[in-house]
Amino acid sequence: MDWRKAVRAALHAATHVPQDDVIEELAQHAEAMYEAARAEGLSPAEAEGRVAGQIEAWRIEAHDLRRGPQRPKAVEPPPTAPTSPFRGITEDIRYAARLLRRHSRFAVLAVLTMALGIGAATVLFSVTYGVLLKPLPWPHGDRVIVLKETRGGKAPRFGGFSSTAYLAWRERATTIEEIAAWSSGTATLAGTGDPERIRVTSTSASLFAVLGVRPLIGSLFEAQQEGSPVVVLSEGLWRQRFGGDPTVVGKPLDLDGQSRTIVGVLPDGFAFPDRRARAWVPLEVRPPANNSLSMFNAIARLRPGVTVAQAASEGSARGRFAADTGMTTMAVFGGDGPIDVSAAPLGDALAAEVRRPLLVLLVAVGLLLVIATANVASLQLARATTRRREIAIRAAHGADGARLTQQLLVESLLLGVAGGAAGLVLASLAHRLLPSVLPPDFPRIDELGIDATVVLFAAVVSAATSVLFGTLPALQARRVDLVESLAEDGAASVGAGRRSRSARLRLLIMAGQVAITCVLLVGASLLGRSFVALLTADRGYDPSGVMTARVMLPDWLYSAERRYAVLDQILGRLAEMPGITRAAFTSELPLTPGGSTAAFTLRSRSVESGVISAQASPRVVSGRYFSTLGMRIVEGRGFADSDTQGSLPVVVVNRAFARRYLGDFPLGAQLPMGVGYETDGREATVVGVVDDVEYVTSMEPPLPEMYFSYRQLNGRVKVPVVTFLLRSEGDTASLASAIRLAIREADALLVADALMRMDDLVTRGLARPRLYAVLFGGFAVLALVIAAVGLFGVLSYVVAQRSREFALRAALGAQPLDILRLVLQQGIAATSIGIVAGLVVAVALTRSIAALLYGVTPYDGLTFVTVPVALLLVAVAACAAPALHAARLHPMRALRS
Amino acid sequence: MMYLYMATKQLRRELKRGSTALLILALLEERERHGYDLARLIQERSGGEIAFHVASLYPRLYRMEDEGLIGGRWVEKPGQRRRRYYRLTAAGKKTLAAQRSVWESFFDALNRVANIRPA
């Protein structure tokens, strides 16, 4: 007889299976007993019968057959009547700490849940606070406003403010102290060390006065220096290139081949327009000549006591007296209506694009926090019920309700403080990741951090949530019936598990959690689907396998003729590189900010007068541009090798152009050749129509565009910045160094920058939608996990409470399946109520994120079907374990316990 | 009569519960023993009077091990399967001495009052 096998088999039938060495020890005992019985003269069958009786006795006692601590010493409760209130609190804290250490599993679960909730809320609060609420880092930042100009309600196609409106206002400003113009670009920094591209801001001298900034060393340029080649360095650039040399003022700096004199260094805290700015050079706003109009960004500082609206109306009024720039205005604004100036506080303007998403995320994280709090409240409620005896005994010893409430609240506060501290740790860890997670153009990114306000927020949230999750159980505890609690011996009577207030309350909490999770999941699904739609959107070209490299050829170094020659040479070299299937360049690459636009008239067959005025963006491209980028030609042809300087001038327009200006038969129409670059009276024939290309984002409608081949522009290229595009079949990333070399070889002064895969450019443009989708999705998944754990907890508790009932049912003939169904029903009922409520709330709320969605409606059918199904599946999974446990309960064991 | 029977039964149970630890400690004072040995000796030496439930022996042993009164270890002897032996720890010895003196003075008192002689 293998006694070990027999003992193991018998004990495995019991609910508590003892450890292996206990089984081994019992098996020895059984064997010795058998041998003794045989020695007494019993037959093998009789001896086996005696041992079997013993094994049965062990089976019944299996729950006590465990090595290791079984009944830990009771934690001594604090005295009922403390000598002083302070003493009472410290004793309560000590008692609570000991209790929590004893119930470490509960404590860890509660603290972890709160840490996740509070941590997520703290991170999001710190970002929201840093971006939307924190005062700007510049003195009088609250009086700095951003100005925007429109003409007849039409916004400019690039820039925000025109030189004419700027000058008209600057001369006679009454509501503002200063107005400043600036624009950002990049320049090649040469001289000592490798040439590099740096971000340079051109600005009027008044910018420094508007923002009230002082130099770290040296001075800042003055208005009369706006025409001179001077430069102000950022502290970072000064340290990097000059090792923080204090005598740097007066030294030269080579920017884009132009030598500039360093006049001063600005502290890193200045960071305007953003932290990427490395140098500032003067921007001279000249009165318009030859109908030219320059566009830039404008900010101003209000006089004290003046409102933003007052400044805006003064700006509009002054702007109406601005010089008229005719067709240029048409080109830039698409109209020449009256000037309107709008103004917004700088802080608001910086955060304008992220305000709504941040608020939406803040609501999401708030909901997550509610779920976490509800979970801990639910856990506490369960403990309060099982602690009825302890509380009853303390009450019997004379502790009054207030004393007990205090003790329970102290316990909750301790959990809350621990959760808050852990949450703060999580938040500070998350903060280290923020710079790499947030898109680089995220506003005020370098001002984000965990400061006193954020810590205060975490503390307040911790305290508030602990009071919330502590109050319910404390109220529950005060209702304890002394006699009943002691008489019941801790176990609920039959049916009590279902009937008890606590159990009902917990199921209600559960339904609420499911509802909130449902709302979050719907939001996450919508944002996720929207992001996927953006990612896979038809942009009108194929970004995969294309590498881009930007080259700057500034006017003072390259004549238009020289530029033509250099570009021609580079293109030739690149096309010959191994692995390259196509090479091209363009004056304007999709997904890069900036751009140009031209206004002109063209003959039209569709209007009576025969002439219409048009605005379109001209692009100068090389012959194979369309095929390199994978653009579709929908009518006619693209450029051919035969399109040269000597051949008939041709132009290719996009579908939007054709639709708006050329009607049904675009081919053969005549446009001014080279409009926007140089017009020489020639006319170009429209030979092809290409599909619309998404230049900026998928959210905006396509605008009219026209493409000219550089080879037909009289051997001159007038654009200072071009981007080369290379399509290869192999790995695009490895091409980078070869491209750099080819460009350097063509001209030693040239530096290729923005070497990027077109794919990356697409993804970079989608950084914000991705961030929102990822964050929202993360919150939703956390909520789902927390809710699932909660559901599991509630049902396990209900099963424990009702174990006697289930045992009785089993004893009276209920099948395990019946009991399984009974438990599942309870969980699924709570979940279903939650799902229905959640869907109703979601329908009402999704409208608020409609502005963030692309390619998916707020009432997306797929989302509203998958989310409930997924939630139900998770709920069934979470309920399965407690339900199976209930079905497997041994009637005798359960009734005896 | 019924009351008397119940009182006797309860007394037996209480005595047994209170004395099991003492018996185990006393048996282990002689030498280290395994569980079956302990059960057998208690039964034999008490002449069957304290034939206590073997099912509760092991939980008791584990608890005493937990409390540090006894120490258990697996011993392998040539030709035998390994067995778990228990021995008395220093704390166990102290507890045994204390329990003995409690029982002694208890029996002494019982004897003086109720004329019960300890065995």
Check residue A493 and give its pLDDT: 47
Report the amino acid identity of residue A542.
Answer: D
B55 touches chain A (CB under 8 A): yes
Query: If you measure CA to CA, which chain B residue comes closest to A51?
Result: B54
Q: What is the mean pLDDT of the segment spanning A828-840?
A: 92
**CA pair distance A462, A454, nearest whole angstrom:** 12
Q: Which of A90-104, A115-129, B39-53 has the highest mean pLDDT?
A: A115-129
B84 touches chain A (CB under 8 A): yes
Residue B119 lies in a domain: no
Interchain contact, B58 vs A70, CB within 8 Å:
no
**CB–CB of A811/A889 below 8 Å?**
no
In order of A201, A232, A265, A280, A335, the CA distances from A235 in angstroms are 15, 10, 6, 12, 43
Interchain contact, A57 vs B53, CB within 8 Å:
yes
Q: Quick check: A421 pLDDT over 90?
A: yes
Q: What is the mean pLDDT of the segment spanning A420-439?
A: 88
Nearest to A54 among B40, B54, B66 (CB): B54
Write out the H or E segment, with its range, that includes residue A524: helix A501-535
Q: Quick check: B6 pLDDT over 70?
A: no
**CB–CB of B87/B74 below 8 Å?**
no
**CB–CB of A158/A293 below 8 Å?**
no
Check residue A261 and give its pLDDT: 93
Query: If you measure CA to CA, which chain A residue comes closest to B57?
Result: A65
Question: Which positions ≥6 away from A867 have C-beta within 8 Å?
Answer: A518, A521, A522, A525, A839, A842
A1 touches chain B (CB under 8 A): no
Shortest distance, CA B109 to any CA of chain A (angstroms): 32
Per-residue 3-state assignment (H helix, E strand, C coil) for B8-42: HHHHHHHHHHHHHHHHHHHHHHHCCEEHHHHHHHH
Check residue A50 and give its pLDDT: 87
Shortest distance, CA B117 to any CA of chain A (angstroms): 34
Residue B59: list chain A partners with CB under 8 A: 61, 64-65, 70
Check residue A275 and give its pLDDT: 78
Cis-peptide into A868, omega within 30 deg: no
Report the amino acid identity of residue A9.
Answer: A
Q: Which of A372-386, A841-855, B3-17 has the highest mean pLDDT?
A: A841-855
Residue A69: list chain B partners with CB under 8 A: 66
Q: Give the orientation angle of helix A20-39 with respect to helix A44-60, to 10 degrees.
A: 150
Selected residue with higher pLDDT from A726 and A404: A726
Residue B20 lies in a domain: yes
**CB–CB of A14/A892 below 8 Å?**
no
**Tens of pLDDT along A265-316?**
999 877 788 778 899 999 988 887 766 778 899 999 999 999 999 999 998 9
Check residue A177 and give its pLDDT: 92
Q: Quick check: B96 pLDDT over 50?
A: yes
Check residue A2 and give its pLDDT: 83
Q: Which of A117-121, A172-176, A731-735 has the highest mean pLDDT?
A: A117-121
Query: If you measure CA to CA, which chain B residue comes closest to A37?
Result: B40
Check residue A483 and give its pLDDT: 54
Total residue count of chain B as it appears in this document:
119
Main-chain phi, psi angles of A640, to 5 degrees: -120, 165
Interchain contact, B83 vs A28, CB within 8 Å:
yes
**CA pair distance A639, A691, nearest whole angstrom:** 15
Write out the H or E segment, with its range, that includes residue A161: strand A161-162
Nearest to A57 among B55, B62, B66 (CB): B55
A46 touches chain B (CB under 8 A): no
**DSSP state, A711?**
G
Shortest distance, CA B115 to any CA of chain A (angstroms): 38
* Arithmetic mean of pLDDT over chain A: 84
Selected residue with higher pLDDT from A513 and A537: A513
Shortest distance, CA B56 to any CA of chain A (angstroms): 8
Write out the H or E segment, with its range, that includes residue A489: none
The gap between the terminal CA atoms of chain A, to the nearest Å, is 33
Confidence of residue A490 (pLDDT cuts 50, 70, 90): very low
A70 touches chain B (CB under 8 A): yes
Check residue A260 and give its pLDDT: 92
Q: What is the largest CA-CA distance in chain A?
A: 129
**Tens of pLDDT along B32-53?**
898 888 888 888 887 766 656 6
Q: What is the mean pLDDT of the segment spanning A384-402?
A: 73
* Nearest Cα residue to A581 out of A725, A727, A724: A727
Interchain contact, B62 vs A28, CB within 8 Å:
no
In order of A128, A135, A180, A300, A466, the CA distances from A140 in angstroms are 21, 9, 15, 11, 40
Selected residue with higher pLDDT from A695 and A172: A172
- Under DSSP, is residue A436 helix (H, G, I), strand (E, B) or coil? helix
**Least confident among A32-41, A519-528, A555-564:** A555-564
**Tens of pLDDT along A609-662?**
677 878 888 899 998 999 999 999 999 999 998 998 889 999 999 998 998 888
Check residue A606 and give its pLDDT: 64
In order of A385, A386, A389, A403, A835, the CA distances from A480 in angstroms are 9, 11, 9, 14, 33
- Under DSSP, is residue A172 helix (H, G, I), strand (E, B) or coil? coil
**CA pair distance A762, A677, nearest whole angstrom:** 28
Return the structure tokens found at A373: 């709090």
Q: Give the orientation angle of helix B54-66 with respect to helix B2-30, to 10 degrees.
A: 50
Residues 17-36 of B with CB under 8 A from A: 34-36
- Under DSSP, is residue A180 helix (H, G, I), strand (E, B) or coil? strand
Domain, as residue range, for B42: 2-114
A359 touches chain B (CB under 8 A): no
Check residue A494 and give its pLDDT: 47
Check residue A708 and give its pLDDT: 93
Check residue A873 and give its pLDDT: 93
Interchain contact, B36 vs A66, CB within 8 Å:
no
ipTM exceeding cut-off 0.90 for this assembly? no
Shortest distance, CA B113 to any CA of chain A (angstroms): 36
**Least confident among A696-710, A766-780, B6-20:** B6-20
Confidence of residue B4 (pLDDT cuts 50, 70, 90): low
B45 touches chain A (CB under 8 A): no
**CA pair distance A864, A518, nearest whole angstrom:** 10
Question: Which positions ≥6 away from A432 have C-beta within 8 Å?
Answer: none
Residue B84: list chain A partners with CB under 8 A: 21, 24-25, 28
pTM over 0.90: no
Residue A64: list chain B partners with CB under 8 A: 56, 59
Query: If you measure CA to CA, which chain B residue comes closest to A61?
Result: B55
Check residue A690 and give its pLDDT: 94
In order of A166, A212, A330, A706, the CA distances from A597 in angstroms are 20, 35, 9, 10
**CA pair distance A519, A517, nearest whole angstrom:** 5
Interchain contact, A65 vs B66, CB within 8 Å:
no
Give me the number of domains chain B comprises.
1
How are the residues of chain A apportioned to helix, strand and coil, as percentages rounded to the nearest 5? 55, 15, 30
* Arithmetic mean of pLDDT over chain B: 78
Q: Is A84 exposed, middle or buried, given 0-12, 13-18 or 19+ CB atoms closer than 10 A? A: exposed
A67 touches chain B (CB under 8 A): yes
- Other Cβ atoms within 10 Å of B79 Cβ, number: 5
Q: Quick check: A491 pLDDT over 50?
A: no
**CA pair distance A553, A723, nearest whole angstrom:** 11
* Nearest Cα residue to A527 out of A774, A164, A157: A774
**Tens of pLDDT along A661-703?**
888 888 988 888 888 777 778 889 999 999 988 766 656 678 8
Question: Which positions ≥6 away from B39 have C-beta within 8 Å?
Answer: A29, B54, B57
**Tens of pLDDT along A552-577?**
887 778 888 888 999 999 998 888 88
Shortest distance, CA B81 to any CA of chain A (angstroms): 9
Check residue A748 and give its pLDDT: 78
Interchain contact, A57 vs B84, CB within 8 Å:
no
Selected residue with higher pLDDT from B4 and A63: A63
Check residue B2 and give its pLDDT: 47
Residue B65: list chain A partners with CB under 8 A: 67
Check residue A698 and give its pLDDT: 56
A36 touches chain B (CB under 8 A): yes
**CB–CB of A33/B36 below 8 Å?**
yes
- Other Cβ atoms within 10 Å of B4 Cβ, number: 8
Q: CATH number for the domain including B24? A: 1.10.10.10
Q: What is the mean pLDDT of the segment spanning A387-396?
A: 73
Selected residue with higher pLDDT from A84 and A618: A618
Selected residue with higher pLDDT from A742 and A77: A742
A664 touches chain B (CB under 8 A): no
Main-chain phi, psi angles of A599, to 5 degrees: -115, 140
**Tens of pLDDT along A447-486?**
788 889 999 999 999 999 888 888 877 777 666 555 555 5
In order of A15, A180, A705, B59, B83, the CA distances from A18 in angstroms are 10, 80, 79, 11, 17
Confidence of residue A70 (pLDDT cuts 50, 70, 90): very low
**DSSP state, A591?**
T
Give the distance from CA A123 to its chain's centroid: 11
- Under DSSP, is residue A585 helix (H, G, I), strand (E, B) or coil? strand
